[in-house]
Structure 1
Amino acid sequence: MKLVGVVLVSHSPKLAEGLAELVRELGGDQVPVIAAGGMDDGSLGTSYGRIERAVSEADQGAGVLLLGDLGSALLTVKTLLDEGVGQEARAVLADAPFVEGAVAAVVTASAGGDLESVRAAAEEARLFRKL
């Protein structure tokens, strides 16, 4: 069974890798979760090429959901998608909180959810109350 892949885009390589580690534990190793944090040299920032490679790596044929942390990470993803990168993978960006959205997306993907249900789960995570 092909599962939706998830790409985590952050300015910080450590933040993206840490979140990827967390959600892999929740979704098992079945869901391809790829961290695309920082620049290619490991510094803070967002790398178009790193995100592009992550989408390709996460693609199992069921689509790829991208989640971003802040401003320019989201702008980089939007630029990438506007230029047609990820079309073959059916890549989409979720308007979701980074941590809660990633958890909801990976849990839904691990249950076999399609790309739209994985995106919806991530976006609905903004409604989760902590108190």
Structure 2
Amino acid sequence: MGLVGIVLVSHSEQLASGLRDLLRQVATPEVPIIAAGGTPDGDLGTSPDRLAEAIAAADSGDGVIILADLGSAVLTARAVLEEAPGPLLVDAPFVEGAVAAAVTASTGAGLEEVAEAAREARDVPKF
């Protein structure tokens, strides 16, 4: 049995990788967490090819959620999903949603439960 995978889509490779590193601190090592940030030449932007590769790498059989940082990352994710439906693009805060999703995925929760945890992070006050 696999766990729900998490793909982090950002305009910045450093931002996506940094968030992935944070999630590795809160999730069990078995949760597939893949960063898909920046362009192949190291610039800011989102790469459909990188995203498609990240989805494949994160898929251990129990589904994949995608969290995106900004609007055009969402547009890129939607375009990729038109070609390869299955993963779930989740409308959630990038950092807080990713943390909630990673912790929930660590428990062995299913795709919808992991996605809902990410969404609910929007309503958790910071103080």
- Shorter-chain TM-score range: over 0.9
Query: Structure 1 vs Structure 2: percent identity of aligned residues?
Result: 57
User: Which among 92, 116, 122 is matched to residue 118 of structure 2?
Assistant: 122
How far apart, in 2, do the equivalents of 1:4 and 1:107 lie? 11
RMSD, aligned α-carbons = 0.7
Whichever residue aligns with residue 37 of structure 1, its letter is G
Query: Aligned residue for 1:54?
Result: 54
How far apart, in 1, do the equivalents of 2:126 and 2:105 lie? 23
How far apart, in 2, do the equivalents of 1:117 and 1:28 lie? 17
Gaps of 5+ in 2: none
How far apart, in 1, do the equivalents of 2:82 and 2:122 lie? 25
TM-score, with normalisation over the residues of structure 2?
Answer: 0.97
Query: Aligned residue for 1:2?
Result: 2
Query: Aligned residue for 1:20?
Result: 20
Structure-to-structure mapping, 1:65-104, within 5 angstroms? 65-83=65-83, 85=84, 87=85, 90-104=86-100
How far apart, in 2, do the equivalents of 1:109 and 1:38 lie? 25
1:113 aligns with 2:109: yes
Gaps of 5+ in 1: none
The one-character-per-residue Cα deviations of 1:86-106 (angstroms, maximum 9, x if unpaired) are x3xx30100000000000000
Whichever residue aligns with residue 93 of structure 1, its letter is L
Q: Which runs of 4 or more aligned residues in structure 1 lie more than 2 Å from their structure 2 counterparts after TM superposition?
A: none
TM-score, with normalisation over the residues of structure 1?
Answer: 0.95
Whichever residue aligns with residue 100 of structure 1, its letter is E
1:40 aligns with 2:40: yes
How far apart, in 1, do the equivalents of 2:33 and 2:42 lie? 19
The one-character-per-residue Cα deviations of 1:17-70 (angstroms, maximum 9, x if unpaired) are 000000011002110000000001111000000000000000000000000000
How far apart, in 2, do the equivalents of 1:13 and 1:43 lie? 8
How far apart, in 2, do the equivalents of 1:107 and 1:121 lie? 9
How far apart, in 1, do the equivalents of 2:125 and 2:30 lie? 28
